Amino acid sequence: MLKSWTSAIALMACALISSAQAQTYPDKPVKIIVGFSAGSGPDVIARTIGAQLGNDLKQQFYVENKTGANGALAIKSLITSDPDGYTMLYSSSSISSVPHLYKSLGHDIMTDMIPVATSGILDGYYMLVNPSTPVHSVAEFIDYAKKNRVVYGSPGVGNVLHLAAELFKLKTGIEMEHVPFRGASDVTAALMQGSIHVMFVTPPSVLPLVEGGQLRAIGFTGSKRFPPTPNVPLVSETVPTFPVTGSWGMFYVPAKTPAAVVDKLNAAIRASMKTPTVENIVVKSGYIPDERSAAETAAFFRKEVDAAGEAVRAARIEPN
């Protein structure tokens, strides 16, 4: 009986401490680690939301880019940080494939960090080619790939954009060579220079290039056409068996971060998504606002990690 009372008192004490920390949080600058290069889609979104959090919570939220290993280096930087809410990680959905790609990471994204909130859900990806390529549709691309050597780029082996291309290969029976880069912006630059032929990418970071004619969007992998470019057809209109590929961005903190701090961050991020500044960058780029609580975000994350495992196996990628 005494042991039960002692445990109950300990839990109450932890809850009180957590609540007290949340009331004063944040009282110093907060670092947001981004595992992608500056100027990439995730980087832009993290900086936009971070700036709004700074305004709302009256403290600086700044971004630190830490690229490499498909986001694994950024993850390690987060989980080795103090669990006090002053170090966060922002990542795209590519993080969901990490545990399926590496045999010995030394950490577990399911237990060593806590999902806080998403920055919204995006229905699919653009399929882009260089305008100099004699391809204007998915059907023409498939025919071109059957007759010519085709090279595609991605932000790294196992990245969701890599998986999208590999699944496209499987569903169409074409051959494409893969060239991995450090980030999506590097892939975009290579496509513009003509050193690769095609890439799959989330729309926000490339929409101005598509609208300006520097890159040609021949398809969108979502369940419905992307609103800013309604003339770009769905990939599934040509390849019905090609799966709808979704994308999302998510904030995390280290495991053992006080629950009250996690909940406060969740509420602040969700509120930031409704401000005109963030809405202009995030929502109008095609992301659907997400109202999940921290607990619901964690459940969503677990489901997405499981789905990524299925995609890795379907693409026949061996973990290393």
* Two tokens, residue 117: 């909130």
* Two tokens, residue 73: 């280096």
- Contact assessment for residue 270 and residue 291, using Cβ atoms and an 8 Å cutoff: yes
pLDDT of residue 241: 81
Among residues 288, 274, 284, 278, which one has the least CA distance to residue 223?
288
Burial-class residue 184 by CB neighbours within 10 Å (0-12, 13-18, 19+): buried
* Two tokens, residue 138: 């998915």
- Look at strands 216-220 and 126-129 and give their pairing: antiparallel
The structural domains of the chain, with segments of one domain joined by +, span 21-123+247-314, 126-237
- Contact assessment for residue 248 and residue 93, using Cβ atoms and an 8 Å cutoff: yes
- Contact assessment for residue 118 and residue 250, using Cβ atoms and an 8 Å cutoff: yes
Q: Which amino acid is at 91?
A: S
Backbone angles phi, psi at 180, to 5 degrees: -80, 145
pLDDT of residue 184: 84
pTM summary value: 0.74
- Look at strands 30-34 and 247-254 and give their pairing: unpaired
Among residues 195, 196, 71, which one has the least CA distance to residue 127?
196
pLDDT of residue 53: 97
pLDDT of residue 8: 47
**Can 21-123+247-314 and 126-237 be said to share one CATH topology?**
yes
Rounded to whole angstroms, how far apart are CA atoms 115 and 92? Answer: 12
Class (C level, CATH) for 21-123+247-314: alpha beta
pLDDT digits (tens, 9 = 90+) for 66-117: 987 667 889 999 999 999 999 999 998 888 888 888 777 778 899 999 999 9
Class (C level, CATH) for 126-237: alpha beta
pLDDT of residue 147: 96
pLDDT of residue 13: 44
Contacts (Cβ under 8 Å, ≥6 apart) of 193: none
Low-confidence stretches of the chain (pLDDT beneath 50): 7-8, 10-11, 13, 16
pLDDT digits (tens, 9 = 90+) for 24-70: 999 999 999 999 889 887 898 999 999 999 999 999 999 999 987 66
pLDDT of residue 245: 64
Strand partners, 152: 178, 198
Q: Give Cα 19 distance to the centre of its chain.
A: 30
pLDDT of residue 285: 67
